[in-house]
Chain A
Amino acid sequence: MADTNFSNDQMLKLYESMLRIRKVEEQLAKDSKEGNIPGAVHLYIGQEAVAVGVCSQLSDKDWIASTHRGHGHFLAKGGETRLLMAEVYGRDTGICRGRGGSMHVADFSKGIIGANGIVGGGISITTGAGLASKLTNDGSVAVAFFGDGAANQGVLAEALNISTLWQLPVIFVCENNGFSEFSPTNTVTAGNIVDRAKPYGTACETVDGNDVIAVWQCAERAKLRASRGDGPTLIEAHTYRQRGHVEAEASFLSKNYRDSQEIESWVSKDPITLFEKRIVDAGQAKIEDLQVISRAMEAEVNEAVEFAEKSPYPDPGGNEQQYMFT
């Protein structure tokens, strides 16, 4: 783990942010199993350090675009738990008024361009937001989160080329979680993803995606490059998807595609557990302090579920065309 001299407060903020995502998603896993959620949910459990490490570097004026596995990015960037929960429940009080659902949570007021149902869909959009940042010249940056699977979409090559050529303030964050749906990454991916930056002369780094401090520092360097006009960075964060590609996948898959030992070995490197240990070992907080945070996050999630459950569904009798055009 990287060395730091983070204040106790900073450490606890990172911890809280990761734990918020974890608690929300544990709830969603349960909800999905119990049939409380209309659509599919793709959980981010095990990858929280990436979203939190990167987004802790950002403010509301910075942009992020995310993926089908987007709850973590939404929450880490300041999206509200209850608005996310109500959206996933398909309610009128959701952040997209039930139009989008789990795969499409977005809050433009917080710079969250949104999750995406199209693998690789966020990469070009972020590049455009980066162009806008450059033209506005307000020091903002645009961050694309995408998976190892998405790195195999041709659009990544186009985006690396144009953003480097134009020196756009963009950060490409590839979360290599070991799988592209049910295919282990190495069965569908040639070479190292991070090396895809090299022919374009794009700055690039790999980082331990389960170490929130290392991610934080890596993102800080990328942001500095972007905001001083040195163009984009490609970051490959190594992490692991602890849950299935999609909840309930066991109900339709005919065979296993990974062994439980592999899962266990990564669970033992869980980003939140590691961080807890680190905080406590460094004497920056006591276990009890962390438990207070944990209970607060649970309360926040419970409140969000209650809010969602009490909320009405959108009115199908309303104007169907609303929101298609301004």
Chain B
Amino acid sequence: MAKKRMIQAINEALDGEMQRDKKLILFGEDVEISLFGDTKGLVDKYGTDRIRNTPISETVMSGMAVGAAAAGFNVVCHMMFGNFMYTGFDSIANQASKLRYMTAGQISLPIVYMSVFGGGRSAAAQHSDAMHPLFMNLGGLKVVTPSSPMDAAGLLRASIRDPNPVIYLQAAGRGGELGEVPDEEFIVELGKAAVLRNGEDLTIVAIGAMVRPALRSVDFQKTEGVSIELIDPRTLVPLDKEMIFKSVRKTGRLIIVDEARDTCSAASHIAALCAEECFSALKAPIKRVTVNDIAIPYSPPLEKNVLPNEERINNTVSEILKFA
């Protein structure tokens, strides 16, 4: 094991997969010089046939991924910011997510659409969305939201090797976060949640960048005598429902922390599932800590207030524990 930054772990995973799979190609805007550092150095190693700088043309990029994948290549389509997936949304929503089903399984589409997502850096409304629920709702896409360097690498390898289209969303601005990463190549299977803290009184499910404030809250609550189980689903499609149900049946209380806007958030979906499946175990209403249904503001005090944080999680814990 060695401590690595998230972005370095991703870079190494991409490098390893390019090495392993000669049919793997990667393209996107400025992936040669690499804005975030995730694709740094790849072009020097694998050449401009397989690592391609594209024009700013998300519409054709997302569709090109579908065509190249259908024709036998394994594709990483780098979309930079999650909001630019909207610009390339047509081929993701109308083609990638549906083509295998519509053609009765004639093809598989091994594509990873990758980008950063979420706010917190005054990047304003058009660079800050956490749009994973949109992709979850399409049905034919896997949705991956790593929260640690180790998961970022392990899930990326699994995503690239998966024969289906995967949306891989890395928390924006968190590339510098450090974490232990195994030296040998490893895979984190899609659809397996991680229990980050064991607890008895309450379950918190936290997604992507929300894991960090949730961890702080859980550790603080422990000093207050509240024992919280913290689960990172790691992938939202497929979702490790059983792991979440098991925990909620044990604790009887559930908070979901999600950076998506509230309406139809991943939190809403998880809350609905638990309400249906764990009803008799529940001792209190399920609570969601999410983003109000607004565009993410630029000004720091406004943005800070909109995004879920440790304080809001703590308040919600107190609220929920009031139900005896």
Contact = CB atoms under 8 A, between A and B. Distances in A.
B314 interface: no
Q: How large is the interface on A (under 10, 10 to 19, 20 to 34, 35 or more residues)?
A: 35 or more
A150 B56 contact: yes
Contacts of B60: 154
B301 interface: yes
B268 to A, nearest CB: 18
B124 A98 contact: no
Interface in A91-133: 91-92, 96, 98-101, 103-104, 116-121
A187 to B, nearest CB: 7
Nearest to B298: A101
A320 interface: yes
A320 B40 contact: no
B57 A153 contact: yes
A316 interface: yes
A201 interface: no
A314 B301 contact: yes
Contacts of A255: 33
Contacts of B126: 103-104, 116-118, 121
Contacts of B298: 38-39, 90, 96, 98-101, 104
A101 B124 contact: yes
A181 B295 contact: no
B284 interface: no
A252 B35 contact: yes
B125 A117 contact: yes
Interface stretch (B17-25, B104-112, B183-191, B302-310): B302-310
Interface in B62-121: 83-84, 86-87, 121
A150 B57 CA distance: 8
B29 interface: yes
Contacts of A321: 292-294
Interface residues of B, number: 41
A39 B301 contact: no
Contacts of B29: 180-181, 183
B123 A40 contact: yes
B122 interface: yes
A153 B123 CA distance: 22
Contacts of A120: 56, 87
Nearest to B58: A153
B302 A316 contact: yes
Contacts of B53: 183, 187-188
B54 interface: yes
A90 B302 CA distance: 9
Contact of A153 (B56, B127, B294): B56
A2 interface: no
B299 interface: yes
A292 interface: no
A266 interface: no
Interface residues of chain A: helix, strand, loop or mixed (majority): loop
A144 to B, nearest CB: 15
Contacts of A189: 55
A118 B55 contact: no
Given A99-B297, A316-B305, A118 B84 contact: yes
Contacts of B33: 182-183, 253-255, 257
A189 to B, nearest CB: 6
Contact of A117 (B56, B83, B300): B83
Contact of B304 (A91, A181, A316): A316
A248 to B, nearest CB: 12
A149 B53 CA distance: 13
Contact of A39 (B32, B59, B123): B123
A313 interface: yes
A250 interface: no
Interface in B35-65: 35-37, 40, 53-60
Interface in B259-308: 292-295, 297-302, 304-306
B302 A99 contact: yes
B15 interface: no
B30 interface: yes
A38 to B, nearest CB: 4
B305 A254 contact: no
B55 A180 contact: yes
A188 B54 contact: yes
B56 A99 contact: no
Give the one of B36, B60, B124 with max A CB within 10 A: B124
B34 interface: yes
A152 B57 contact: yes
A104 B297 CA distance: 11
9 tightest CB-CB pairs across the interface, nearest first?
Answer: A117-B126, A101-B298, A98-B299, A152-B55, A316-B305, A38-B122, A90-B299, A39-B122, A188-B55
Given A100-B125, A101-B122, A153-B58, 8 more contacts: A39-B298, A98-B299, A99-B297, A101-B299, A154-B57, A180-B56, A188-B54, A320-B294
Interface of B: 29-30, 32-37, 40, 53-60, 83-84, 86-87, 121-127, 292-295, 297-302, 304-306
17 contacts: A98-B299, A99-B124, A100-B298, A117-B83, A117-B127, A118-B83, A120-B87, A121-B126, A152-B56, A153-B59, A182-B30, A252-B37, A254-B33, A255-B33, A257-B33, A313-B301, A314-B297
